[in-house]
Amino acid sequence: MYRYIGNKTKLTAVILDRIAELIGLNGTVADIMAGTGTVSYELRKRGYSVVASDMMTYSYHHLIVNLTLSEAPDFRTLISSGRLGILRSENSYEAVLMYLNSLPPVKSFFFEEFSPDGTPSNGGEPRKYFTSDNAAKIDSIRETINEWVTNSLVTPAEESLLKHTLIMAVNEIANISGTYGYFLSDFKKNATDSIVLKPLVFYPTNSEGHIVKQGFAEELASSISADLCYIDPPYMKRQYAANYHILETLARGDFPDAIGKSGLRDWWDQHSKLCTKTRGLQSFETIMHDLNAPYFLVSYSEDGLFSLEQLVQTFSKFGKVTTQEIDYARFRSNNSKLPKQLKEYLITVKR
Ligand SMILES: C[S@@+](CC[C@H](N)C(=O)[O-])C[C@H]1O[C@@H](n2cnc3c(N)ncnc32)[C@H](O)[C@@H]1O
């Protein structure tokens, strides 16, 4: 269950159909705010070459997995190191997951900072993102992965796959309502289940020729060329780095200061200008000016920071603009009182 603000799972068919209308069924498509990688993955499945990027580290790992793996890597160095002992599966990836699932819990960073039996380093009240048992299991799993990475026992693709698999498992048992901006005061049912790493099912073809990058789109734009650039920007003030800080910590494998009541890491280095009214339109201009593509396709929401008129006015500086409106169920946290339906825009810019 990946509840990611602005995830396009329900809209991929419409987006992919529009891309096919504009450039046909082959070519290179850039997905420069790719998030969970849902759109990139569908583009790969339809046979496109994809250049995918996002500013978040967890997104980088999701993209490596979604775009470049067609089967599980063989974990050759790790297996031959003897670290895993006697293997209980012929499939190396599954053997690695079995090993990680059976590690004894360790009361370390996640236990101390994010569980009710922990002692946060800032002296504040214990937090309840995870049960104490799950937090200690996450500690043992992530610190073991860190050790494998430090000692070059896993390849970069194997590291991405393990981190992707861990994040997907953590999403299942996190005690949150939608995002990691805060935790719930009481443990909800699925948060009390034990965390289990589950093997991913791989898409078997078209894993070659894709490019994955990490960084701000404004900065990467001049290094990207594509037949079409899909842009799925944030549309609210809520910063992704703050709302998914725990996933970023899992992806980086680090031990940041956990600040304030909710234990956020310092996220200023991943602050997005697109979440601000003052600098968002300038960011679109930089991207459209610098990125080499004859078409841009931009997703935006009716209740976004910018009105459709503002966007059209900005985009018109770069080409002919047409807008498609789609009715779409609103991303809602559990207690939201907002109405259910709203419009999503799909805006095409033809240079
Ligand atoms: C609406 S989400 C994308 C959702 C994605 N299409 C999916 O289906 O999961 C917006 C994404 O833009 C990223 N982002 C925000 N500002 C950015 C920037 N300036 N450069 C690159 N990525 C940015 C966020 O990290 C987030 O993942």
CATH of the domain at 307: 3.40.50.150
Ligand 1: centre distance to CA 239 (Å):
10
Are 98 and 170 contained in the same domain? yes
- The Cα–Cα gap between 76 and 86 comes to 14
Ligand 1: centre distance to CA 327 (Å):
21
Ligand 1 pocket test, pick from 232, 239, 284 with the greatest ligand atom count within 8 Å of Cβ, gives: 232
Are 196 and 228 contained in the same domain? no
Are 283 and 324 contained in the same domain? yes
Q: Among the three residues 142, 176, 201, which one is the final residue of a domain in this structure? A: 201
Residue 107's alpha-carbon distances to 41, 130, 252, 321, in angstroms, are 36, 13, 19, 55
pLDDT of 16 above 60? yes
Domain residues for 124? 72-201
Angle at 202 between CA 245 and CA 248, to 5 degrees: 10
Q: Among the three residues 201, 218, 249, which one is the final residue of a domain in this structure? A: 201
Are 227 and 344 contained in the same domain? yes
Are 109 and 19 contained in the same domain? no
pLDDT digits (tens, 9 = 90+) for 242-275: 999 999 999 999 999 999 999 999 999 999 999 9
pLDDT digits (tens, 9 = 90+) for 54-84: 999 999 999 999 999 999 999 999 999 999 9
Ligand 1: centre distance to CA 221 (Å):
14
Say whether pTM exceeds 0.75.
yes
Residue with tokens 């997905």: 31
Are 143 and 36 contained in the same domain? no
Query: Helices (DSSP H) in the chain: which residue ranges?
Result: 12-23, 38-45, 57-68, 76-80, 92-101, 109-114, 132-150, 156-173, 217-220, 240-243, 245-252, 280-290, 308-315
- The Cα–Cα gap between 129 and 174 comes to 6
Are 97 and 194 contained in the same domain? yes
CB 110 within 8 A of CB 143: no
- Of all atoms in ligand 1, which is nearest to the CA of residue 215? 21
Are 25 and 159 contained in the same domain? no
Residue 109 lies in a domain: yes
Residue 104 lies in a domain: yes
pLDDT for the residue numbered 88: 75
Residue 266 lies in a domain: no
Residue with tokens 């968002």: 280
In 3D, which of 28, 19, 31 has the Cα closest to residue 226? Answer: 28
State the pLDDT confidence band at 21, using cuts at 50, 70 and 90.
very high
Residue 239 lies in a domain: no
Q: Among the three residues 160, 182, 201, which one is the final residue of a domain in this structure? A: 201
Half-sphere exposure of 289 (CA within 13 A, CB side): 10
Are 119 and 137 contained in the same domain? yes
Number of domains composing the chain: 2
- The Cα–Cα gap between 50 and 67 comes to 8
- The Cα–Cα gap between 213 and 56 comes to 10
Residue 244 lies in a domain: no
pLDDT digits (tens, 9 = 90+) for 202-214: 999 999 999 999 9
Residue 254 lies in a domain: no
Are 105 and 5 contained in the same domain? no
State the pLDDT confidence band at 86, using cuts at 50, 70 and 90.
confident
Are 107 and 194 contained in the same domain? yes
pLDDT digits (tens, 9 = 90+) for 23-58: 999 999 999 999 999 999 999 999 999 999 999 999
Are 208 and 327 contained in the same domain? yes
User: What's the whole-number average pLDDT of the chain?
Assistant: 95
Angle at 11 between CA 10 and CA 12, to 5 degrees: 105
pLDDT for the residue numbered 190: 96
Residue 240 lies in a domain: no
- Of all atoms in ligand 1, which is nearest to the CA of residue 216? 20
Residue 155 lies in a domain: yes
